[in-house]
Amino acid sequence: MTSKKAMLSLAVWTLVVTTLGGCDLFPKRIEQPRQYASPYPAPKLWAVAPFRNESGTSIVDPARFADHVTQQIQQTPGITIVPVNRVIAAMDAMDMTAVTSLDTAMKLMGALQVDGLLVGTITAWDPYEPPKIGAIMQLYARQLPGGGTALDSRQLTLAGTDPALPGLTAYRQPIATASGHFDAANGAVLQRLTNYARGRAPDDSAAGWRRYLINMDLYSEFVSHELMRRLFAAEWERLHAGVKPESANTGSDRPN
C-alpha cells in the first residue's frame, strides 16, 4: 500500500512539473543594471543638445540619440538632466540650429541655467548586424558669477570673458571629451555589451542580450552608456587625479 501511495505521489508531482513546463520553481536572482557614480561632490544640472549627424546617412535621428544620453544621465545619482525637448525649445527661441562653438554653447547654457552642456556628433551609423556606431561627445561647463565654474575650476585655464554673457567667464572648453567607434563585431565591444545587458535584457526571452544586436535603438542605448562611462572617467581623472570612484550602489560600475 505504501508503495502504491509513493508511486501515486510521484505521478502527481511529475504531472505538476510537466504542467508548469518552463516556469521557474525558484525565482532567479535579479542582477541590478550597472550604473556610474557622479564625479562631483555636489548636485549638478546638465543638458544634452541634439547630436549633429556626420555619419553620411540620413536615417539617424540626432534628437533620439540625445534622448538616449539623457536617459543614461538620469540613472546617475547626483546629476539632474533637462529634457531634450526643452533644450530644443530653447534653441528654437534663439534661432539656434546647432551648437557649433563655445559662444553658442555658453548662450544655450545661460538660457537653460544649467551647470553643464553635452554636445555631440554621430560619425558612423550602420544598423545591419553587427551594428556600428561612431560618436564623439564634449562637455562644456558654465562659469558662474563670482568665479569658479559650475562644475569645477581648479584645473581650468582662463581664456577670456564672453561679452554676450556678463559675469560669465569663458574657460578653455570643452572640459571633457568622450569618443569611440563601437563595432559589435569587436570582441571587446561585445563584452561591454553583454555586461550592459545584465539586469536589462530578460534572461528568459528568445533573444536575451542579443536583442541589442538586432535593434538599433537598443544598441544606441548601449553606445550612449559607453560614451558616458568614458566621459565620467575623464572627469574623475581631471578632478581626482586618478582616485578610483566609489560605487553608487551594488549595481554601479567604475568608469575605467
12 class by beta-carbon count within 10 Å (0-12 exposed, 13-18 middle, 19+ buried): exposed
pLDDT band at 157 (very low <50, low <70, confident <90, very high): very low
User: Quick check: is 16 in a domain?
Assistant: no
Q: Between residues 121 and 199, which one has the greater pLDDT?
A: 121
Cell 564634449 found at: 138
Are 217 and 210 spatial neighbours (Cβ–Cβ below 8 Å)? no
User: Quick check: is 204 in a domain?
Assistant: yes
Least confident of 19-28, 39-48, 53-62, 200-209: 19-28
Give the residue numbers spanning the domain of 156.
Answer: 34-244
List residues bridging with 46 in a β-sheet.
81, 116
pLDDT band at 186 (very low <50, low <70, confident <90, very high): very high
What pTM, to 2 d.p., does this model score? 0.73
- Looking at every residue in the chain, the average pLDDT score rounds to 77
pLDDT band at 209 (very low <50, low <70, confident <90, very high): confident
User: Quick check: is 23 in a domain?
Assistant: no
What percent helix, strand, coil does the chain show, rounded to 5? 40, 20, 40
pLDDT value at residue 34 = 63
User: Quick check: is 109 in a domain?
Assistant: yes
**The dihedral formed by the CA atoms of 228, 229, 233 and 236, expressed in degrees to the nearest 10:** 70
Pairing of strands 252-253, 35-36: parallel
User: Quick check: is 111 in a domain?
Assistant: yes
Give the pLDDT mean for 70-93.
Answer: 95
Total domains present in the chain: 1
Distance CA 169, CA 219 (A): 38
Are 139 and 176 spatial neighbours (Cβ–Cβ below 8 Å)? yes
User: Quick check: is 251 in a domain?
Assistant: no
User: Quick check: is 63 in a domain?
Assistant: yes
- 163 pLDDT above the threshold of 80: no
pLDDT value at residue 212 = 86
DSSP 3-state of 26: coil
pLDDT value at residue 242 = 53
List residues bridging with 136 in a β-sheet.
121, 179
Cell 531634450 found at: 84
> In this structure, what C-alpha cell is assigned to residue 252?
554601479
User: Quick check: is 58 in a domain?
Assistant: yes
Name the residue type at position 98.
A
Q: Which residues fall within 8 angstroms of residue 21, CB to CB, at 6 or more apart?
A: none
- Whole-number Cα distances in Å, 94 to 89, 118, 168: 9, 18, 19
- 64 pLDDT above the threshold of 60: yes
pLDDT band at 198 (very low <50, low <70, confident <90, very high): confident
